Amino acid sequence: MKRLESTETRKKVSQAATKGVPSLFLFILLITWQVVVDQGIVQKYILPSPLDTIVTFVQILPGLKSHIIITLKEAFTGFFIAICFAVILAVLMDSIKLLKKAVYPLLVVSQTVPIIALAPLFVIWFGFGLLPKVIVVILVCFFPIVISLLDGLNSVDVDMLNMLKSMGANRLQTFRILKFPASMVNFFSGLRIAATYSIMGAVIGEWLGGEGGLGVYMLRVKHSFALDKMFAVILLIVIMSMLLFKGISLIQDLLMPWHKLLNKNIGRQ
């Protein structure tokens, strides 16, 4: 009994240490950054300190409301369209092997083209409105979703597939009963990655031109050399991206409660 309690205690301590290491490293990094700036090793107008960044963040946040709304509108619109296109293409590629052979290499090659190089073309073709920013978000978010879902569909247990076929299940029934539910873990993994990319994609699109948005605001403060505001907006983008990441995780926990319990059981072992 004592050995079991000792083993359980060691596991809890090990898990706490594992979770605490990143936080400790981040704390040390921020303290070092603050000391370097306070001691004048690096001037504040070149690298604002963490404390200055937080103070500026609190000061400018109320005035960023309109820019935040614009960026979120672009990010959510592009993210939703990317999900729709990715699901449709992944299902088609899984069903039609010839289509997969033809399209999959093109998807991989498309990721070698820098989005920052394509964004100016979208501005030239579609103007300075909402559309070019949404296209950038779609291109950024589309790849991780379609690849993750496709991998999930391809990783379904062969014996289960054969069993359903032997029972007379057609393709639609096989997809609905087995393939799609079994691919949900991969699907949500791709969604989490794409969700964090969506804000970044919207900001990149705004850098090339626009009337509002966090990207436009960043360009304005950069031209005025207000780097404390620049860092404050970067902090805001990080917070927004992490909230989206956490939101997707919460949706997964609601739709797949068994997956969370499974992870807890694995962590205890």
Mean pLDDT by 10 residues, the chain (269 residues): 53 60 82 84 81 89 89 92 91 85 84 78 79 88 89 79 75 76 84 90 82 85 84 91 90 75 52
pLDDT of residue 69: 92
Please, are residues 184 and 145 in contact by the beta-carbon 8 Å criterion? no
| Token pair of 247 as six digits | 């939101």
| Token pair of 151 as six digits | 């991998």
pLDDT of residue 14: 58
pLDDT of residue 81: 93
pLDDT of residue 258: 66
Please, are residues 45 and 225 in contact by the beta-carbon 8 Å criterion? yes
Does the domain formed by 45-268 have CATH 1.10.3720.10? yes
pLDDT of residue 208: 77
Domain ranges of the chain: 1-42, 45-268
| Token pair of 15 as six digits | 């898990």
pLDDT of residue 75: 92
Pairwise CA distance, residues 12 & 17, whole Å: 9
Pairwise CA distance, residues 214 & 219, whole Å: 9
Residue type present at position 153? L
Quick one: which of 215, 218, 217 has its CA closest to 202? 215
pLDDT of residue 12: 59
pLDDT of residue 266: 45
Quick one: which of 107, 141, 136, 134 has its CA closest to 244? 141
